[in-house]
Amino acid sequence: MRKVISPEIKFKVALEAIKGQMTWAQICSNYKVSQAQISKLKKLAEQSIKSGLITKPDKVLTELKEKNEELLKLLGEAQLENAWLKKKFRTFAD
């Protein structure tokens, strides 16, 4: 059975690995994780930091607004279709 590592522990492990103040063996013993996990968490954290610094917040906000508009459009279409189907069902049932 695989051991589940909490997000807080993952953050602490990645931070310790990035800092470089402790050896990986020390991190392994302190947090009960393998060196492979430390390597993976460190790479993931570095990529996240890099993409967070490169991506402009305005771009992310624009993308979210576009997605929101698309979802609202789909919701409106679904509501119209639902109303039409209810109307047709009533005329069919009568």
Task: Kindly list the domain boundaries of the chain, sorted by start residue.
Answer: 1-54, 56-94
**Dist. CA 66–CA 32, nearest whole Å:** 43
Q: Which of 46, 35, 41 is nearest to 9 (CA)?
A: 41
| Residues whose CB is less than 8 angstroms from the CB of residue 10 and which lie 6 or more positions away in sequence, other chains included | 41
Give the global pTM: 0.55
Residue 12: CB atoms within 10 Å:
16
Which distant-in-sequence residues (6+ apart) come within 8 Å of 77 by Cβ? none
pLDDT given for residue 55 in this prediction? 65
Q: Tokens at residue 46, please?
A: 């570095």
- For residue 69, is pLDDT > 80? yes
Tens digits of residue pLDDT in 36-64: 999 999 999 999 888 777 767 778 888 99
